[in-house]
Amino acid sequence: MGNVNGESVGEQVGNVLRSLNLTESRLLVGVSGGADSTCLLEILAELRQVFPLEVRAAHLNHQLRGTDSEADARWLEARCRQLDLPLVLERADVQHTAKETGRGIEETARDLRYRFLQRVAVAADCAAVAVAHTADDQAETILHHILRGTGLGGLRGMPVSRRLCENVLLIRPLLEVGRSALEAWLAARDLDFRTDATNADSAFTRNRIRHELLPLLREKFNPEVNTAMVRLGRQAADVEQAVEFAAARLLQQSLLQASESQAELDCDQLVNVPRHLLRSCFVQLWMQQDWPRGAYGYREWDRLAALVLEGRRNSISLPARVQATWRKRRLRLERGTVNG
């Protein structure tokens, strides 16, 4: 998908680095050995001739494919030596961790991988971690969110950059580039890469979307469905950015007082705003308070909005031990302690 051809992929990555002021930075590249991450690694290695970049690589062996996983690590070691790139290699027992935590393999692997990349980046004083998500990955992500049931925020997909931790960015320089363009870039330079057989395993939802659902949609409904999904993501991101800006101002106007365990809002400032903006205002408040949001979804945020808009004395219980009470045109939110 997309109009980025094999010869302009490097320019695309360079443009992303310029836009984020990272052309003179130390970068850590998360690599698996697959086509996407190999292409990103090779491009960043080449860009050292254009920018005063310092590039490092990191690979977490998930130990899910036996000897193939070990072969991937050895292949990356050899290639990084050829490119004169420092490489950090570690192993993680994803299956054991998934069993202990009761989470799925995909979720566990992702969580362990990002923790690893963050730790390595901080230790090496890197300004950013670069990962190789493509425009195809973006389309798959947005479609996956739609299938699970998402609000407008989920339609945004993945951002080009976000804060990984206090001093490290997570960047996706290939997010506007289609997978076919990366393969063309590698083929034009006769560069090899590793193939992960589990990417074809239909037991994983993401693989079924990639190999079954999207091809069906392209064949039967819209040959440019990937492009349409990515465009939808851009538009949703623009709208959500505007909503978040307005919600932040609304919170500033309505917040009367706040401490670690409580907050109080002036409902007179909240009753005449769109319901979606009101829900977003509460999300902003939870973020500001650093209260857990993992158990919150549309239903919980909308219950809060309804409590404000009903305009009568009432109280509701919410996840993470939060009690919300409307009284005398004030909304009081109190978060109890574990023993409270």
Is the pLDDT reported for residue 231 higher than 70?
yes
How far is residue 212's CA from residue 202's CA, in Å, rounded to a whole number? 9
How far is residue 250's CA from residue 253's CA, in Å, rounded to a whole number? 5
How far is residue 37's CA from residue 182's CA, in Å, rounded to a whole number? 10
Residue 29 identity: V
Is the pLDDT reported for residue 338 higher than 60?
no
Is the pLDDT reported for residue 265 higher than 50?
yes
Phi, psi of 129, rounded to the nearest 5 degrees? -105, 125
Instruction: Give residue 198's pLDDT.
Output: 67
> What would the pLDDT profile of 92-108 be if each residue is shown by its tens digit?
888 888 888 888 888 88
> What would the pLDDT profile of 34-47 be if each residue is shown by its tens digit?
999 999 999 999 99
Chain position carrying tokens 């819209």: 222
Cite the DSSP H helix spans in the chain: 9-19, 35-47, 67-83, 94-101, 105-123, 135-148, 179-188, 205-208, 214-220, 225-254, 275-289, 298-310
Phi, psi of 93, rounded to the nearest 5 degrees? -90, 85
Instruction: Give residue 150's pLDDT.
Output: 82
Is the pLDDT reported for residue 340 higher than 60?
no
How far is residue 321's CA from residue 33's CA, in Å, rounded to a whole number? 44
Stated pTM of the model: 0.81
The answer to whether 126 and 140 are in contact (CB under 8 A) is no
Q: What is the residue-averaged pLDDT of the chain?
A: 91
Among 47-56, 294-303, 326-335, name the one with the lowest average pLDDT. Answer: 294-303
Domains, the chain, in order of start with CATH, read 9-229 (3.40.50.620), 259-335 (3.30.465)
> What would the pLDDT profile of 105-135 be if each residue is shown by its tens digit?
888 889 999 999 999 999 999 999 999 999 9
b/e sequence 117-140, b meaning 16+ C-beta within 10 Å: bbebbbebebbbbbbbbbbbbbbb
Is the pLDDT reported for residue 2 higher than 50?
no
